[in-house]
Amino acid sequence: MEVHTEIKKRVFNFGDRSADGNATMRNLLGGKGANLAEMSRIGVPVPPGFTITTEVCTEYNQVGMDATIRLIREEVETSVKNIGKIMKAEFGSDDHPLLLSVRSGARVSMPGMMDTVLNLGLNDRSVESLARLTQNDRFAWDSYRRFVQMYGGVVMGMKPRSKEEIDPFEEIMEEIKQDRGIELDTDFTTDDLRLLVRRFKEAIKSRTGKTLPEDPWEQLWGAVMAVFNSWNGDRAVYYRTMHGYPANWGTAVNVQAMVFGNMGANSGTGVCFTRDAGTGENVFNGEYLMNAQGEDVVAGVRTPQQITKLGSERWAVLAQIPEAERRSKYPSLEEIMPVVYQELFEYQRMLETHYRNMQDMEFTIQNGKLWILQTRNGKRTGAAMVKIAMDMLREGLIGEQEAILRIEPIKLDELLHPVFDTKAIKKARVIAQGLPASPGAATGQIVFHSDEVGKFKNAILVRLETSPEDLEGMHLANGILTARGGMTSHAAVVARGMGKCCISGAGALKINYRTRTLTIDGREYHEGDWISLNGSTGNIFEGKVATREPELTGEFAQLMKLSDRYRTLRIRTNADTPADALAARNFGAQGIGLTRTEHMFFEVDRIKAMREMILAATTKGRRRALEVLLPMQRSDFEGIFEAMDGHPVTIRLLDPPLHEFVPHQLTTQKELAEDLHISLEAVKSKVAELAEFNPMLGHRGCRLGITYPEITEMQTRAILEAALHVKSRGITVKPEIMVPLVGTLEEFSSQRDVIRETAEQVFREYKDRVDFKIGTMIEVPRAALIADKIAGEAEFFSFGTNDLTQMTYGYSRDDAGKFLPIYLEKGILKADPFETIDQKGVGTLMRIGVGRGREIKPGLKIGICGEHGGDPASVEFCNSLGMDYVSCSPFRVPIARIAAAQAAIKKQAGNS
C-alpha cells in the first residue's frame, strides 16, 4: 500500500502549558496521550513530551520499521529537542543527559497489554553524569539497573519463556542477594547495582546474541517499535478479540521527560485525591514522601506523610502521636513546602473542575519543581460515590442526569448491609474463599445443624448446601456458609432475599456433620469456633471481626428521590413475610412481584400439617390437613397485605416438588411417623415414592395444582379471605394470584377455573368481593413461544427468569456450580446467565413473550420476578422491552431504582 509521505502530522507535542492535541482526540492520540495534552493545554505542569499517533502504528504494520522511522524521524527529533529545551538537558548528551519514558496508549485502556520503558537515554557514560549531577551514585546506578532490566524485557525479549521459568533478571538479582546475604532490593549497594547492570547485559547478549544499545537514539527507536509490536502481541490480540476492538485502531506511543522525586531533600513524590475516596467528604487529601520514587509511597517500607496539615493532624490523633512530634517528624507538605503545596492545591481544584469528577492524581517534586504525572477519575466506596455525585450536583458541577449516571448501582449494596470495620478487616486472617453470594458482613460461632442455630446468640450456619428445611436456621443465623452451590443455589437466593450475608460454593471446606468439624487446608475448626464472612468479596476469616451498621446518609435518600423522577419502570419486591415486605417498602418498593408461598410452610408449626397433607393417601385426608394450613396462610397474607398498604401483591401458588417438604433423616422420619400415628415404613415408602430423577422438571409448579386441585383451592381461599379481612379494616388490597410453571394454555385455564370457582364461593360466603387478577409466570420456554395464546386468558405475565434460564440453557440451577466457574474462566460464557440475563438467548424468548402477549392484549401488565430483577444490566434490558416492573429482593430495591432511572435516561438519549 501507498504510504502518505505528504505533510501529515504524526507527532503531537505537549508540555510547557500548551499542546498540539486535546482530550477529544482519543482515537488519534490514545487515551493517555489525549489526557496528557489536555492537562498541558489547561496549564497543568506535566513533564513535557510528545505522542506518536495511532495511525503511525497502522503504517508501521504495513511498511515496517525503517520506512516508519523515515516517516517520523524529523518530527521526533524536533520534539525531543523541544523537551530538552524545557528540561534544560540534552538527549544523547553525556554531560547533561535528558532521560525519557516511553509508554503505550491505545484509545481504550487495555490493562496488561503494554509495557513501559523508563530512564531511557542512560548508558555507561551518562550514568556517571547523572551520579555527578545528583550527587547520588546509588540513585544513578539504580536508575540504570532499572532501565537495562526494562529495556531488556520489553524491547529485547528477555522474558520468561514458559510459565515455569522465572524472569531471567529476577533470577540474577536473587543469586546476588543470596551471595550477599540480603533480602530486599533496597539493600543493594552501588557496587551491587554496578554488578547487576553488567550481569544483566551479559545475560541479554548470551540469550539474544545482541548487545543492549549504548546510543540513546537507537534505544529510543527500539522502544517505540517495541510498543508498536506489543499491539500485535499475544496478550493484546487476546484482549482485543475478547472486546471486539479492531486491529486497525493501533496504539499511540507517549514519550515524556523523566522526572525524579528521589534526587535529594528538595524532591519528593505523592498521590492525592480531590475528595475523600472513603467518605466522599469534599476535602483535599493524600500522601507523600520526600526523596522517594512513586513506588516507595505504596510499598509501605517508609511511612508516607499526609499532604495537608488537617490530614496530618487527624492522622497523628489516630496514630497517637503528640503534636510536637508530628510537626517535627511527620510534617505535612503544606507545612514544609507551602509554596509547592499551594500550587498543588490549585491544580487539584483546576483538574476536578475541568473533569467534573473526583480526581486521583500522582505528582513528583524534582528539586522544588512540581510536576503532575497523571490524573484520573478516582475509585471510591459506595458511600463516597453517592455523596460525591450529590455534592457535585449541588455545587452545579454536574446536572441531575449525570449525577444519576455517575452511580454504579451494584456499589449501593455497600450501603445496605452491615459492614466490617475497615481497620479490623485489615488485621483479619483469610482462611478460604467462596462465591460472594449475598453481600454484607457477618461474625459468629460455627454451627452445622439448622435446628441448633439457636444455641448461639451469634451463629454462622455452615452447611454443604442448604435446603428449605434450613430456612428457620438461616433466618436465625448471622450468616450462611456453604461448601457447594452457585450464585442461585438455595442458600444464595434465600440469603439475598433475607438480606443475610452468605458465601456459597467454598470448595476448600471439608465438612463433617458427624464430628461437627470443618477442615480447611488441614486446619480444624469446631462447632462454637468464631469465624467471619464478607459476603461482598467471598472472603472467610478466622475469628471475630468487628462490624458496624450501615449508615443511610441524607444524600442516599436524595439520590433515590431524584432517580424516581426519571425512571418509568416500577420496582416491586420478592417478599415472603410481612417483615421483608416492610423492609422493601422502606427501600421504596411499589408492590410485591413474588411471594413464594412455600416458604411459609417450613416454620415449625406448619411443616407438620404440610407433611400430613403430603402423606395423606386420599383427597379427603389431604383436605383435612389443608384445613389446618388455611388459617396460617391466611394470617400470613393478611400481614403482607397490611404491610403493602394498597400496593399490588402477587402471590404465587405452591411451586416446589413435594419431596422438598418431607424429612430425609431417619430421626425426623421416626418423629413424623409417631406424630401421624403411622408406621415408619409408611413414611419411608412415601419419601421414596416422591423421589424424582429430575425434580426441577418433575412434579412441581402448576402440575401440583392440577393433580391436587384442593391445594390451589386452599391457597386461593387463604389469599381472598385475607384480602376481605384486610379490606374490612379499611385498607385497600390488590391481590394478584400467579400460576407457576405454565407451558400450555390448558394448564393455565384449568388452574384459572379452580381459582375463579373458589373465589366466587368465598365472595358468596363473605357477601363481599375484592378485585383481583389471575396471571401466570412465563418461565417455561414454551410459554414464551405461545404467549399470544396465554395472553388471551391471563391478566398478567411475570417472567421467572431463573427457571427460564435453567430450561433455555439446560443448566440445572442447583448443579451449575460445578461447571459455570470453569465456563467463565475459559470464556465459554462471558457472564453467569443466572446473574445477568442472557440477552441473546433467554432475552430473545422474553422479547417474543412480551411481543406476542401485547399483540393480543396491548395493555398486558408484564414484569419479571427472577433473581435478574435486581441486576442493573437486566433491569436495563427489561426497560428496553417495555416491561411495567421489575421485582427483586428487598435489599436490591434501591439498586433497581437507580438502574431503572439510568435505563430510562439512556433510552431517552438513544431515541433523541
**267 or 889, CB closer to ligand PEP?**
889
Task: Give alpha helix (H) positions in 842-892.
Answer: 842-856, 872-880
- CB burial of 537-571 (b: ≥16 within 10 Å; e: otherwise) equals bbbbbbeebebeebebbebbebbbebbeebbebbb
**216 or 800, CB closer to ligand PEP?**
800
Cα distance between residue 361 and residue 352, in whole Å: 10
The entry of ligand PEP, Mg ion, none that residue 866 binds, CB within 5 to 8 Å by partner kind = ligand PEP
Task: Give the count of alpha carbons within 13 A of 810, CB side only.
Answer: 0
Q: Binding to ligand PEP by residue 660, rule CB under 6 A? A: no
8 Å CB contact between 196 and 173: yes
Q: Binding to Mg ion by residue 843, rule CB under 5 A? A: no
8 Å CB contact between 3 and 63: yes
* Strand pairing report for 285-290 and 268-273: antiparallel
**267 or 715, CB closer to ligand PEP?**
715
| Per-residue contact flags (x/-) with ligand PEP for residues 739 to 778, judged by CB under 6 A | ----------------------------------------
Residues 887-906 that bind Mg ion (CB under 5 A): none
**82 or 802, CB closer to ligand PEP?**
802
> Please, what is the minimum distance in Å from the beta carbon of residue 643 to ligand PEP?
20
C-alpha cell at 307: 499532604
CB atoms within 10 A of CB 355: 19
Q: Which of 67, 60, 16 has its CA nearest to residue 40?
A: 16
865 is catalytic: yes
Stretch that binds Mg ion, among 360-368, 407-415, 673-681, 797-805 (CB under 5 A): 797-805
In terms of Cβ atoms closer than 10 Å to its own Cβ (0-12, 13-18, 19+), residue 628 is: middle
Q: Which of 272, 865, 878, 888 is catalytic?
A: 865
Q: Binding to ligand PEP by residue 803, rule CB under 6 A? A: yes
> Please, what is the minimum distance in Å from the beta carbon of residue 798 to ligand PEP?
8
The residue type of 771 is D
> Please, what is the minimum distance in Å from the beta carbon of residue 807 to Mg ion?
10
> Please, what is the minimum distance in Å from the beta carbon of residue 877 to ligand PEP?
15
Cα distance between residue 309 and residue 332, in whole Å: 5
Q: Binding to ligand PEP by residue 802, rule CB under 6 A? A: yes
DSSP 155: T
Residues 765-784 that bind Mg ion (CB under 5 A): 779
> Please, what is the minimum distance in Å from the beta carbon of residue 456 to ligand PEP?
30
What three-state secondary structure class fits 115? coil
**650 or 669, CB closer to Mg ion?**
650
Q: Binding to ligand PEP by residue 145, rule CB under 6 A? A: no
> Please, what is the minimum distance in Å from the beta carbon of residue 800 to ligand PEP?
3
By CB under 6 A, how many residues form the interface with ligand PEP? 10
Using CB under 5 A, pick the residue from 31, 505, 800, 870 that binds Mg ion.
800
> Please, what is the minimum distance in Å from the beta carbon of residue 503 to Mg ion?
24
Cα distance between residue 228 and residue 846, in whole Å: 45
Cα distance between residue 476 and residue 484, in whole Å: 21
Stretch that binds ligand PEP, among 525-533, 668-676, 715-723, 795-803 (CB under 6 A): 795-803
DSSP 531: E
**479 or 656, CB closer to Mg ion?**
656
What three-state secondary structure class fits 350? helix
| Per-residue contact flags (x/-) with ligand PEP for residues 864 to 893, judged by CB under 6 A | -xx---------------------------
Task: Give the count of alpha carbons within 13 A of 582, CB side only.
Answer: 6
> What is the signed CA dihedral for 468, 470, 474, 479, rounded to 10 degrees?
-110
The entry of ligand PEP, Mg ion, none that residue 276 binds, CB within 5 to 8 Å by partner kind = none
Q: Which of 592, 568, 580 has its CA nearest to residue 471?
A: 580
Q: Binding to Mg ion by residue 803, rule CB under 5 A? A: yes
Helix and strand counts by DSSP (H, E) for the chain: 35, 32
**45 or 866, CB closer to ligand PEP?**
866
> Please, what is the minimum distance in Å from the beta carbon of residue 731 to ligand PEP?
27
Closest residue by beta carbon to Mg ion: 803
377 strand-pairing partners:
359
Phi, then psi, of 827 in degrees rounded to 5: 75, 10
Residues 575-634 that bind ligand PEP (CB under 6 A): 594, 596
**459 or 492, CB closer to ligand PEP?**
492
Task: Give the count of alpha carbons within 13 A of 372, CB side only.
Answer: 31
Q: Binding to ligand PEP by residue 835, rule CB under 6 A? A: no
The entry of Mg ion, ligand PEP, none that residue 219 binds, CB within 5 to 8 Å by partner kind = none
**779 or 871, CB closer to Mg ion?**
779
**23 or 495, CB closer to ligand PEP?**
495
The entry of Mg ion, ligand PEP, none that residue 596 binds, CB within 5 to 8 Å by partner kind = ligand PEP
> What is the signed CA dihedral for 124, 129, 134, 135, rounded to 10 degrees?
90
> Please, what is the minimum distance in Å from the beta carbon of residue 463 to Mg ion?
22
Distances (CA, A) of 56 to 60, 65, 67, 244: 6, 11, 11, 21
Stretch that binds ligand PEP, among 121-129, 136-144, 605-613, 799-807 (CB under 6 A): 799-807
> Please, what is the minimum distance in Å from the beta carbon of residue 802 to ligand PEP?
3
* Residue whose grid cell is 413473550: 849
Using CB under 6 A, pick the residue from 84, 538, 705, 800 that binds ligand PEP.
800
Q: Which of 490, 647, 725, 868 is catalytic?
A: 490
Q: Which of 306, 391, 383, 381 has its CA nearest to residue 357?
A: 391
3-state per-residue secondary structure call for 831-851: CCCCCCCCCCCHHHHHHHHHH
**483 or 865, CB closer to ligand PEP?**
865
> Please, what is the minimum distance in Å from the beta carbon of residue 812 to Mg ion?
13
Stretch that binds ligand PEP, among 199-207, 330-338, 728-736, 794-802 (CB under 6 A): 794-802
> Please, what is the minimum distance in Å from the beta carbon of residue 399 to ligand PEP?
37
**609 or 741, CB closer to Mg ion?**
741
**778 or 899, CB closer to ligand PEP?**
778
- Per-residue DSSP letters for 422-461? HHHHHHPPEEEE-EEEE-SEEEEEEE--GGGGGGSSSEEE
Phi, then psi, of 581 in degrees rounded to 5: -60, -40
The entry of ligand PEP, Mg ion, none that residue 594 binds, CB within 5 to 8 Å by partner kind = ligand PEP
Residues in contact with 262: Cβ distance below 8 Å, sequence separation at least 6, in sequence order: 136, 139, 269, 291, 292, 293, 296
Task: Give alpha helix (H) positions in 477-553.
Answer: 490-498
Q: What is the separation, in whole angstroms, between the first and last Cα of the chain?
A: 41
Q: Binding to Mg ion by residue 814, rule CB under 5 A? A: no
DSSP 891: G
By CB under 5 A, how many residues form the interface with Mg ion? 3
Q: Binding to ligand PEP by residue 779, rule CB under 6 A? A: yes
Strand order across the 509-512 sheet: 509-512, 517-520, 523-526
Stretch that binds ligand PEP, among 111-119, 548-556, 800-808, 824-832 (CB under 6 A): 800-808
Task: Give alpha helix (H) positions in 212-308.
Answer: 216-230, 234-243, 294-299
Phi, then psi, of 68 in degrees rounded to 5: -65, -45
Stretch that binds Mg ion, among 244-252, 391-399, 720-728, 799-807 (CB under 5 A): 799-807
> Please, what is the minimum distance in Å from the beta carbon of residue 353 to Mg ion?
51
Contact positions vs ligand PEP (CB under 6 A): 594, 596, 655, 779, 800-803, 865-866
Contact positions vs Mg ion (CB under 5 A): 779, 800, 803
Catalytically active residues are 490, 865
